[in-house]
Amino acid sequence: MKFKDNIVIVTGAGNGIGRSVAAMYAAHGAHVVIAEKNRDAGEAAALAINESSQTTGSAVFHPTDVSQPQEIEQLMRSTGERWGKIDVLINNAGLSVWKSPYDLSVEEWDYILNTNLRSVFLASREAAKIMRTHGGGAIVNLSSTRAHTSEPNSEAYAASKSGILALTHALAVSLGPDGIRVNAISPGWIETGDYAALRPEDHAQHPAGRVGVPDDIARACLFLTQKDNDFITGTELVVDGGMTRKMIYVP
């Protein structure tokens, strides 16, 4: 119950990793704001969390398209007005378009960068304005192991996730005097679909012996935002089952 009565905002919390993160904070006593563009998904996530026997806090849905600066500002303003504070911000929302760099349009590039990277800066800035008025807070930005390694046709996504890492340490230095810690998590393969459909060889790629699940990232978020971990800031926590540390030789 270390997060009892904490106010936690999770962007992109309607599905996948974000939904698991929101549910875990609510299970530890937090009041969670589900900031989600898809109204049906956001409302369903809030309802499921509030009806869960594991929940000791609560969840509310706030429609938010993080590619739109004014919607980010409204999210933070309404949260501050409702509860008077923000303790934790999880910048999770993100997307990509897998397309050859020969074909990727400027509009697609801008949309991905604005959604994945610009939103992290704007949300962090607006949340920090409220956090610093009540002693500080903690921010976690979701990057990706694709900030370090790539597959073809992922240029915009890779650029946005790499940018998040640089933005994280810059914000940690700038916001530190206000008692605000900023860290990043870089997930590897986190299966948000049919886990049972994975093959043995999928799991065997990982030194940990399995593909990741959203709760793996949720637990990492809780760790980084606990108040007694106040010496951890400006860092990247890679949560990938050791996959990016495994050398691969082709016979």
Catalytic residue among 102, 111, 157, 249: 157
| Sole residue written with tokens 């898809």 | 38
What's the chain's length in residues?
Answer: 251
| Sole residue written with tokens 């000791």 | 56
- Give the residue ranges of DSSP H helices in 59-136: 69-83, 106-113, 119-131
Contact 164, 186 (CB under 8 A): no
Whether 157 sits among the annotated catalytic residues: the reply is yes
Give the list of residues 6+ apart from residue 81 with CB closer than 8 angstroms, or none: none
**Positive or negative CA dihedral for 160, 163, 165, 167?**
negative
* DSSP-assigned beta bridge partners for residue 90: 10, 140
Query: Between the CA of residue 108 and those of 112, 154, 155, what are the distances in Å?
Result: 6, 12, 11
Q: How many helices (H) and strands (E) does the chain have?
A: 8, 7
Q: Which residues are identified as catalytic?
A: 157
